[in-house]
């Protein structure tokens, strides 16, 4: 697989300071975002104990807004990342939004963003994700792009190829309410909403170990993940509406069969 991925278009001076600038940029930004997520918008996080604090962990989330990855990353690892910086996740990021000028590109690189070209069929970005994921953690969106209505769209094969290549610990993550905070077309977050985030039990894809990395296998994995995310989202909305209790929702996160 070669050397672990880093921003390979940057020079030696950037990389010399990068461990420090990355650490400071992520944690200072996370503190500011924490004010938005947890104080000005109530964020309820469920199932954080399902997230392994290990390298080669892949968090697969539904995608409602441009700031989903920041919520998922801070909810999963903020705190432990102070002493284990490798827990700061890598994130795929739309090149046209996060790398549109030199300042945003610098900030995105320090937030461990991997640029993805418009259209999202970017083989080089996929190769970078595979390299980066082995040595740390990563947030990916199986849908490939943001939802326009808050519902979960069909998935793309990219996340499945990362699973086939790296055999990571795969955690399904469901976000709800962020669509109301930052709808498509909005530039600034809305306040005083209620955000929900749930981490499901890790998914075992060891059956694919040693099998060919085909597009069909990648789609099988992504379709399975999308099904789990949709079940989690439906359960999360039932929990919000008071239709089920926390114990019932925990069974959904653990993918337990209902008792007859």
Structural domain spans, the chain: 12-253
The 10s digit of each residue's pLDDT in 30-54 is 999 899 999 999 999 999 999 999 9
Residue 85 above 80 pLDDT?
Answer: yes
Helix axes 102-110, 12-34, angle to 10 degrees: 80
Q: In DSSP terms, which residues pair with 173 in a beta bridge?
A: 61, 199
CATH code of 12-253, in short, is 3.40.1130.10
The 10s digit of each residue's pLDDT in 190-226 is 899 999 999 999 999 999 998 899 999 999 999 999 9
Give the phi and the psi of residue 203 in degrees, each rounded to 5: -100, 135
List CB contacts of 203: < 8 A, sequence separation 6 or more.
Answer: 170, 171, 172, 224, 225, 228
Residue indicated by tokens 């083989």:
123
Neighbours of 245 (CB within 10 A): 10
| Contact of 154 with 180, CB cutoff 8 Å | no
User: What mean pLDDT do residues 149-153 have?
Assistant: 89
| Contact of 46 with 157, CB cutoff 8 Å | no
Return the pLDDT at 259: 40
The 10s digit of each residue's pLDDT in 220-248 is 999 999 999 999 999 999 999 999 999 99
| Contact of 177 with 194, CB cutoff 8 Å | yes
């Amino acid at each position: 697989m070669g050397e672990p991925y880093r921003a390979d278009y940057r020079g030696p001076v950037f990389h010399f300071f990068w461990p420090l600038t990355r650490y400071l940029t992520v944690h200072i930004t996370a503190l500011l975002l924490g004010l938005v997520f947890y104080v000005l918008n109530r964020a309820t996080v469920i199932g954080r104990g399902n997230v392994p604090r290990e390298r080669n962990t892949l968090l697969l989330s539904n995608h409602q807004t441009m700031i989903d990855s920041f919520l998922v990353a801070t909810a999963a690892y903020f705190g432990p990342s102070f002493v284990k910086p490798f827990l700061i996740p890598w994130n795929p990021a739309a090149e046209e939004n996060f790398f549109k000028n030199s300042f945003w590109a610098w900030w995105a690189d320090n937030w461990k963003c991997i640029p993805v070209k418009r259209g999202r069929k970017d083989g080089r970005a996929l190769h970078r994700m595979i390299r980066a994921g082995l040595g740390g953690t990563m947030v990916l969106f199986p849908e490939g792009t943001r939802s326009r209505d808050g519902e979960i769209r069909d998935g793309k094969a990219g996340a499945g190829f990362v699973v086939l290549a790296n055999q990571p610990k795969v955690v399904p993550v469901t976000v709800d309410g962020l669509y109301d905070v930052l709808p498509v077309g909005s530039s600034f977050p809305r306040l005083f909403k209620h955000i929900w985030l749930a981490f499901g039990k890790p998914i075992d894809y060891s059956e694919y170990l040693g099998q060919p990395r085909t597009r069909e296998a990648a789609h099988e994995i992504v379709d399975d993940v999308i099904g789990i995310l949709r079940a989690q989202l439906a359960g999360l909305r039932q929990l919000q509406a008071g239709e089920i209790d926390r114990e019932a929702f925990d069974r959904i996160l653990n993918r337990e069969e209902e008792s007859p």
